[in-house]
Amino acid sequence: MDKERRVTFFTRRFLVGRAGPFPRLVFREDVMLHLDQFAHLHNKGEHGGFLVGKVRELKSSERYEVLVERFIPVTQMEGAVRLVLAEADVRALGRALKQRQEGEVIVGWAHTHPGFGVFLSDFDKEQHQRLFPEPWQIAYVMDTQAQERAAYVAADDQWQRLEGYYILKEMAENEIVLPAAQAGRRWGRLAALAVVFVLIAGALVWGYNWAMDFVKPPEEPPPVVETAVKPPVVVNGGSSQPVEKEEEPPQSQGQAPAVEEIETETRSGEYIVQSGDNLWIIAEKLWGDPRLFPYIVIENDLEDPSYLPVGKVLLIPELPRN
Ligand SMILES: [Zn+2]
């Protein structure tokens, strides 16, 4: 029957209160209703029973998700002052669940505190630690008069009141969803897509810049030397100071024509900005690779690389070799 339900229904989680520290507590909606109904019917003295469900261990061994699937009330005298659970009942229920082989265990217990607030008495605490010693087993307390509910866990004598819990609501697949809600969901999905897109684009741009900044320059120099588009740096050095540039002679031969295209009045290591120039174009002219423009920016301490008046003299750095 359960399996059949899973085919035709889907579930949704609703958080009540705050998502707090673990364990993560999840009530099936019908269990929550059952508990509330039970609490309303027994509005004098303490009443309660067992909580049965499943425990899933999350990534770390100390983190659990507890799914409460059933509430099994314990018969109690009307007006009983406190809920006393028998150890024999705990064992019998445990055995029965094991035999059913559906992975269900006793995930804790629940009881009412009609009109006297939500807390655990010393008796409650003692009973819990004796019968429900697992760190994921919960003590659930309801006070319908005060409209209060709370779940507690104890680990190594440390009591913790959970800040919230989830309600697992089963919804029919053909359940009518209001258009507004649908649209909202669609927009939410679109927004999520947009965020993913921005992240991917950011990663691409970042990755590209990273590649340009750190990967490309070291790789580039060889091609720069080969294509011999390095005239301004070498031009005059090639002709007037050949001694200093030991490695240059073979390159300067092939550069003669290129030199004239650029600017005859440049001195060694200088470039005069031409009309229509920008740093990319200059880097292209100088080294055959526009992506090397940051070397010009750094060498000239350009605060605004987009401001390049015609006639400005730029210092041209030596590119790092290797
Ligand atoms: Zn109590």
Q: Does one domain contain both 166 and 19?
A: yes
**What are the CB-based long-range contacts (under 8 Å, 24+) for 315-318?**
315/269, 315/270, 316/232, 316/233, 316/269, 316/270, 316/271, 316/286, 317/269, 318/233, 318/269
Q: Is residue 212 part of a domain?
A: no
Could you tell me the residue range of the domain that residue 66 belongs to? 2-173
Cα(3) to ligand 1 centroid in Å equals: 36
The pLDDT tens digits for 14-26 are 888 888 777 899 9
Q: Does one domain contain both 27 and 121?
A: yes
Q: Does one domain contain both 48 and 165?
A: yes
Q: Does one domain contain both 21 and 162?
A: yes
Cα(84) to ligand 1 centroid in Å equals: 9
Cα(167) to ligand 1 centroid in Å equals: 23
Task: Decide which of 173, 191, 208 is a domain's last residue.
Answer: 173
Residue 154 belongs to domain with CATH number = 3.40.140.10
Helices 249-262 and 231-240: crossing angle, nearest 10°? 120
Q: Does one domain contain both 167 and 283?
A: no
Residue 229 belongs to domain with CATH number = 3.10.350.10
Q: Does one domain contain both 149 and 260?
A: no
Quote the number of domains for the chain.
Answer: 2
Query: What local confidence, expressed as pLDDT, does residue 165 receive?
Result: 93
Q: Does one domain contain both 235 and 146?
A: no
Cα(62) to ligand 1 centroid in Å equals: 26
Q: Which residue has the higher pLDDT, 98 or 227?
A: 98
Q: Is residue 188 part of a domain?
A: no
Cα(124) to ligand 1 centroid in Å equals: 5
The pLDDT tens digits for 139-172 are 999 998 888 999 999 988 899 999 999 999 877 7
Q: Is residue 78 part of a domain?
A: yes
User: Taking the model in full, what pTM does it have?
Assistant: 0.52
